[in-house]
Amino acid sequence: MSEKLPIVEVTWLDARAEEAWIDIDEAKEQRLYTCVSIGYLLHEDEDKLIIIQSQALNQNTIAGLSVIPKSGIQSVKNKDS
């Protein structure tokens, strides 16, 4: 990969899971996790946004892949300023 990718900050909603016994009313009030991820924007289409942590500029390799569904994205900010 020869080009430098843009750096973005993505705020998105993620699933939540509980394994412990909890009250039904308390379970109904559970919320999704709000997450913030910062990385290089590798790809974006109508379904997903893909960011990575590292890229090898002299090879076609990447590391630290995150595939985030568009339906959960709250905001994307460009950090290349």
- Taking CA 37 as the corner, what is the angle to CA 32 and CA 38, rounded to the nearest 5 degrees? 165
Helix then strand then coil, in percent of the chain rounded to 5, is 10, 50, 40
Whole-model pTM? 0.86
Average pLDDT over every residue of 3-13: 93
pLDDT at 10: 98
Please report which confidence band the pLDDT of residue 81 belongs to, taking 50, 70 and 90 as the band edges.
Answer: low
Structure tokens at 32: 């999704």
Please report which confidence band the pLDDT of residue 2 belongs to, taking 50, 70 and 90 as the band edges.
Answer: low
| pLDDT over 70 (residue 48) | yes
Domain spans of the chain, in order of start: 7-78
